[in-house]
Structure 1
Amino acid sequence: MYRFLLTPRWIALHVVVLLVIPAFVLLGQWQFGRFEERSANSERVTANLAAPPVPVESLAGPAVKEDDRYRAVTASGSYDAAQGLLVRRRPQEGRPGFYVLTPLVLADGRAVLVNRGWVKAGATADTPPEVPPPPTGQVTVTGRLRLSETEESSGIRERPGLPAGQVLLIDLDAIGKRLPYELLGGYVDLTEQRPGGGPAPEPVPAPDVGAGGGLNLAYGVQWWLFIGVAVGGWALLIRREAADRRAGAARPDGGEAGEPEETSAHTG
């Protein structure tokens, strides 16, 4: 009764099912891996945002560790407004604009780059934006520690020919080569400044921690459910084919189910 499973049509179906099952297993495992990775990242960033601030020098040496992203840090020094930069193509709340970068020179002579916030773009692409100057004298800043940007990490392609004092990437190695002092390996998104007062760029919003990979978990479960659908559908088709063949064998004329019976008499 089940010899039909060895026909070319059914062998092709078996091959498809045998290929689909491991593919769905691998896709599910990949989504579960992404869930674990994003959940760990979400927990790490959430903990860093909630941690008490520490001196930036303790974390931002030649480079910043991945685990220290968004860690609250403090720094004291004086702004070097003459070496300030604008970072192009940084929209905020759907509005085009720039980040305002200003080196903060520390007591030991080194400096940390501070993202003082966001300013809206000028009326045209060639119009310089209005940038509030940094405060003079000694200041203490608190902010979120960030890693140096690359084309791969930011998705932004660097290009030459930008207006003076503007960059596309917060690439600390490249920016540090232009400065007369050593630059720490991480930069700071400003959240608080003392003394404050006076006009200032708009603060950069805190990162969206998100759901921690909840969608990846749902997709992983979905892919594995598809395995049951594929196997169940395959088994259902086999049972239906076998049932049809049994019904056909049980007919008086031995025909297949659903075939019309031939008439035994003809009208004259």
Structure 2
Amino acid sequence: MYRFLLSRQWVILTLVALLLIPTMIRLGIWQMHRYEERTARNQLVSDALAAAPAPVETLTSPGHVVTRDERYRNVTATGRFDTEREVVVRRRVNADEEVGFHVLTPFVLTDGKVLLVNRGWIPADGPSQTVFPKVPAPPAGQITVTGRLMPDETTAASGIKNLKGLPDRQVMLINSEQEAERLGAEVLGGYIAQTAPAPKGDTPQLIGRPGDEDAALNYAYAIQWWLFSAAVPVGWVVLVRRELRDRREAGTPEKSEQTEPAAV
């Protein structure tokens, strides 16, 4: 009765179904892992932003690699801005997706070490991208700044190519090792995205708070893939029954081979 399952068409269909089931289960597991990772990341960010500001040198030092747990921690530092050796970071966008620069200013601490401070975004409104843009000056003299601690940017982590031969005082990545070599100074690992004091004018625009990643979608996708995996065998059974019904209605050999009930 089920000999048609041995036909080429049905063997291929069955094999495809058998392959789809574990594949969809694995995709669901992968989406669940993504959900757990994003949920954990969101919690780390929330905890870091809620923590009281700490002196920057308690969390980083020259050559230090900012860890995942240290990222976004609020830190404070006292010193002065060195605008003479300020650079801008190319091809950065603001909240409105406008392309411009980030302003990266060395901040010389009271002990002589240097902290890199991303003072925010400015528009690329110069006559050309080869000209150093007009950058609003930071407060002069000794001040205390507050910001979110960030790890060094790398091509591997950001996908941004660290291009060479750029115009004077322009860089592609914010990297403490690269800046330490340029400045010839001890530079603390990572950098901070300044949050205070706020600029007096419209720019630089301070970097906004990091938003939560939407983990709920990954959870929904996981359930969706698992429902698909459960639907495959159900669909296979439905197709088999439909095939049997069609063969019986068409008078296929399966039907002719059945014996007629004996007359009484």
Q: TM-score when scaled to structure 2?
A: 0.89
Larger Rg: 1
1:45-94 deviations in Å (ceiling 9; x for gaps): 12111211111111112221111111111111111122211101011122
Q: Is the 8 A contact 1:73 1:142 kept in 2?
A: yes
Q: Is the 8 A contact 1:139 1:193 kept in 2?
A: no
- The correspondence of residues 6-25 of structure 1 with structure 2, limited to 5 A, is 6-25=6-25
Q: Which runs of 5+ in 1 are unaligned?
A: 256-268
Cα-Cα RMSD: 2.1
Identical-residue share of aligned pairs (%): 46
Q: CA deviation at 1:215?
A: 1.3
Q: 2:137 aligns with which of 124, 133, 138?
A: 133
Q: 1:86 aligns with which of 85, 88, 113?
A: 88
User: Structure 2: which amino acid aligns with 1:84?
Assistant: E
Question: Is it true that 1:98 corresponds to 2:101 in the alignment?
Answer: yes
Q: CA deviation at 1:161?
A: 1.2
Could you tell me which residue of structure 2 aligns to residue 115 of structure 1? 118
Could you tell me which residue of structure 2 aligns to residue 31 of structure 1? 31
Secondary structure in 1 matching 2:115: strand
Q: Is the 8 A contact 1:111 1:183 kept in 2?
A: yes
User: Structure 1: which amino acid aligns with 2:197?
Assistant: Q
Deviates more, 1:60-69 or 1:164-173: 60-69
Structure 1 residues 193 and 232, CA, compared in 2 at 3 Å: closer, same or farther?
same
User: Structure 1: which amino acid aligns with 2:204?
Assistant: P
Q: Is the 8 A contact 1:248 1:254 kept in 2?
A: no
Could you tell me which residue of structure 1 aligns to residue 197 of structure 2? 193
- The correspondence of residues 40-51 of structure 1 with structure 2, limited to 5 A, is 40-51=40-51
Q: 2:212 aligns with which of 209, 212, 233?
A: 209
Could you tell me which residue of structure 2 aligns to residue 266 of structure 1? none
Could you tell me which residue of structure 2 aligns to residue 262 of structure 1? none
Measure the CA separation in 1 of the matches of 2:170 and 2:250.
Answer: 81
Measure the CA separation in 2 of the matches of 1:86 and 1:7.
Answer: 68
Structure 1 residues 147 and 250, CA, compared in 2 at 3 Å: closer, same or farther?
closer
Could you tell me which residue of structure 2 aligns to residue 230 of structure 1? 232
Question: Is it true that 1:4 corresponds to 2:4 in the alignment?
Answer: yes
Secondary structure in 2 matching 1:87: strand
Could you tell me which residue of structure 2 aligns to residue 258 of structure 1? none
Q: 2:178 aligns with which of 174, 199, 215?
A: 174
Q: Is the 8 A contact 2:5 2:11 kept in 1?
A: yes
Q: Which runs of 5+ in 2 are unaligned?
A: 258-264
